[in-house]
Structure 1
C-alpha cells in the first residue's frame, strides 16, 4: 500500500535546497549558499546529459529521497560500463517506507534502458543498515574508498620517510662492524710457517 504513495521525478533547480540538506554529509565544507549553488550545478549537468539522471523520490507528495545516476566505466582500469549510483539517500522521516528500494529500482531500470551491464554504488563504511540493504540487493563489497586532504597525506609520507642523517649513521655503524669482523678474522689466521735454516757444516 505504501509503495503506491511513492513517485519519482527528475530533480529541478527548486530542489537544490532539499538536496543540500539531504546530502549535507556528502558535500564539501562551505557556506550553505555555496552548497546550494553546487547542487544547482549538479542538477543543471544532469538535465543536460543523457548519461546522467538526478531523481527525487516523493512520498505522498513530500520530497523523501534522491539519487544521482551516472554512466561511466566500472573503474579507471576496468573499462566495462556501469551505472554509478551516487548517494541514494532517504530522509529520516521517510525511511522503511520503500523509498530506498524505489531509488535502486530506478537505477536498475536506467542501466537496463542504456544496455549497461553493471550497477555500482558507494555506501558509507560505518552504516551497517545501508550495507546490509545493498547486500540484500546482490551488491557485493569490492573495495574501500578512502579520502584525506592532500596536505595530510604529504605530512604522513614525509614523517615516515627515513632521514639522511639516520641512514648515514646506520651506514657508518655497519661499516665499523664489518671492519672489526675482518680484523678479527685476520688475527685468527696463522702466518706462513718458518723454514728451518740448514745446520752449520761439521768439521
Structure 2
C-alpha cells in the first residue's frame, strides 16, 4: 500500500475552517463533548489563539486537500526550562485514518523549520505519561524527558493547602453531625405534622 502524498501548510484565514473542524475532532476524541468543542470554536477561542503572534499552526493535507492532521506550536523567548529561546509543541493531532502514514513527521518538519527560522535551539512538548505510543514516538525522534509535570485542580489544591489549618477533633465532627441530624429530624417532623 502506498502512502498518500502529504503537504503541510501554515494555517491562514483560508484554512482556518478546515483547521477548526479537525481541532474539534481532536477534542472529541480526547473526551470533550461535541457540544463543548463546538462552543469553544463558535466563541472564537480557536481564532483568537491562531491570531496570537507567538502561535504557529500547521495543517497537513493529503493530495485531495483532505485535512488529516495539525500541529500548534508556540515560540517563547523565556521557556523556563532552558536558557535559550525554544519552541513548544502545544498540540499535535493526526486523524485516526491517517495515522502511521508519516503525517506527524511532516508536521514536525514544519515545526522544525519554524524553530530554525526563530533561532531556537530546542523544541519541547508535553506528552501525557499514560500515552505510551506518543511517548515512544517522540523518544524515537530524540525527545528526552526533562521534567515531570504534575497537575491538580485549583479546588483540590485549595483543600490540601487548608490541611494546615487547625484540625477539628473527632468529637467535634460527631457533635456537628448529630446536630445536623437532629435539625433534619425536627424539620421533617414539622412538615409531617
Q: Tell whether the structures are fold-level matches, with TM greater than 0.5.
A: yes
Q: What is the deviation of 1:165?
A: 6.7
Deviation digits for residues 82-125 of structure 1 (CA, Å, limit 9, x no counterpart): 01111111111110000011111111111111111110111121
The answer to whether the Cα contact below 8 Å between 2:24 and 2:38 also exists between their aligned partners in 1 is no
Alignment of 1:45-64 (within 5 A): 45-47=49-51, 49=53, 51-60=54-63, 61-64=65-68
Question: What is the Cα-based RMSD across aligned positions, in Å?
Answer: 2.7
Determine the structure 1 residue equivalent to 2:139: 135
Determine the structure 2 residue equivalent to 1:100: 104
- CA distance in structure 2 between the aligned counterparts of 1:6 and 1:43, rounded to whole angstroms: 24
Alignment of 1:16-165 (within 5 A): 16-24=20-28, 25=30, 31-37=36-42, 40-47=44-51, 49=53, 51-60=54-63, 61-73=65-77, 75-76=79-80, 78-159=82-163, 161=164, 163=166
How many residue pairs get aligned? The number is 162
Change (3 A) 1:28 1:149: farther
The answer to whether the Cα contact below 8 Å between 1:74 and 1:120 also exists between their aligned partners in 2 is no
Q: What is the deviation of 1:34?
A: 1.8
TM-score, normalised to structure 1, is 0.68
Deviation digits for residues 50-82 of structure 1 (CA, Å, limit 9, x no counterpart): x32111111232211111111004633644210
Q: Give the secondary structure class of the aligned counterpart of 1:35.
A: helix
Greater length-normalized contact order (CA 8 Å, ≥ 6 residues apart): 2
Change (3 A) 1:5 1:148: same
Gaps of 5+ in 2: 170-193
TM-score, normalised to structure 2, is 0.71
Q: What is the deviation of 1:10?
A: 2.4
Q: What is the deviation of 1:128?
A: 0.6
Change (3 A) 1:26 1:80: farther
Determine the structure 1 residue equivalent to 2:10: 10
Which stretch shows the higher mean deviation, 135-144 or 12-21? 12-21
Gaps of 5+ in 1: 167-203
